[in-house]
């Protein structure tokens, strides 16, 4: 019997995603080796490409976890192909997060894959589906910072070091924001299954505005300062200095 869980085409990696990975790899290599004549443009393409790859993996983690939790409709929707164009809101999932990186150096949560929650039984499964996305950002942050705390960047051009530091900042900030228990974000999705029906009913009208509320708060200088102090504290613990991440952002904004 052929189902959404068994069709090979539903799981075939999208050429769009492979193209983004290729751009990331080539520009990362050009930055690493110093091959690029205009290093700042290479840094921009490398970080942007890697950021989009992480967004795709974030959504894939949600989808894959939902599939194994009982939502067999996931495959037919194209979510397992890693194609960013298959998302419910490609603008929210890809375009806006990239724009906010350019504007403010913030790893804004993207998203959305539409999960048929009524197919899934068990509160723990619902929580795990929501947690899978930001946990991907955590793993990505660890991967980005590993060369720093392993002292594996000796002899590597500083431009690559700074680009990697800025990419790590984006992953850490995205993870922190996603774990906030705010309606519309994954953090709320983690705790929502454990709330009473009455509480969920009262919160539901505010869900579409949760991300906008968080973004507005980040423009408040005091809140922005506290948020980035937290981000840099985490990065420092992972071997990345605030100066390295800041220089990386400066290189990224080549214009």
Torsion angle of alpha carbons 32, 36, 39, 42, nearest 10°? Answer: -80
User: Are 100 and 51 spatial neighbours (Cβ–Cβ below 8 Å)?
Assistant: no
The phi, psi pair for 253, rounded to 5°, reads -85, 70
> How far apart are the C-alpha atoms of 42 and 122, rounded to whole Å?
46
Kindly name the residue from 37, 59, 192, 204 that is annotated as catalytic: 59
Is 192 catalytic? The answer is no
Cα separation of 135 and 185, whole Å? Answer: 13
Cβ atoms of 109 and 137 within 8 Å: the answer is no
* Rounded (5°) CA angle 127-67-108: 55
Instruction: Kindly tell me the burial class for residue 140, based on how many C-beta atoms sit within 10 Å of its own C-beta (0-12, 13-18, 19 or more).
Output: buried
Answer for the pair 163, 47: CB distance below 8 angstroms, yes or no.
Answer: yes
The pair of structure tokens assigned to 133 is 């996305």
Residues written for the chain: 255
Q: What angle do CA 103, 107, 109 make, to 5 degrees?
A: 115
Concatenate the DSSP letters of all residues of 129-151 into one string.
HHHHHHHHHHHHHHHHHHHHHTT
Cβ contact 19:83 at 8 Å: no
Known catalytic residues? 59
């Amino acid at each position: 019997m052929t189902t959404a869980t068994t069709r090979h085409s539903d799981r075939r990696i999208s050429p769009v995603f492979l193209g983004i990975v290729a751009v990331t790899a080539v520009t990362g290599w050009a930055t690493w080796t110093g091959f690029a004549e205009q290093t700042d443009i290479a840094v921009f393409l490398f970080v942007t490409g890697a950021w989009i790859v992480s967004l795709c993996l974030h959504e894939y983690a949600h989808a894959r976890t939902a599939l194994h939790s009982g939502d067999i409709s996931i495959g037919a929707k194209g979510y397992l192909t890693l194609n960013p164009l298959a998302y419910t809101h490609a603008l929210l999932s890809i375009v806006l997060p990239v724009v906010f990186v350019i504007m403010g150096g913030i790893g804004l949560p993207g998203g959305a894959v539409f999960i048929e929650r009524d197919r899934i039984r068990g509160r723990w499964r619902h929580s795990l589906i929501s947690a899978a996305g930001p946990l991907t950002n955590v793993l990505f942050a660890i991967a980005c910072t590993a060369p720093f705390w392993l002292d594996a960047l000796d002899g590597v051009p500083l431009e690559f070091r700074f680009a990697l530091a800025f990419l790590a900042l984006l992953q850490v900030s995205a993870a922190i924001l996603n774990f906030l228990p705010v309606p519309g974000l994954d953090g709320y999705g983690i705790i929502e299954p454990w709330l009473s029906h009455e509480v969920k009913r009262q919160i539901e009208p505010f869900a579409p505005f949760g991300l906008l509320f968080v973004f507005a708060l980040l423009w408040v200088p005091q809140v922005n300062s506290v948020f980035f102090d937290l981000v840099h504290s985490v990065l420092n613990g992972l071997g990345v200095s605030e100066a390295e991440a800041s220089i990386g952002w400066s290189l990224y904004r080549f214009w």
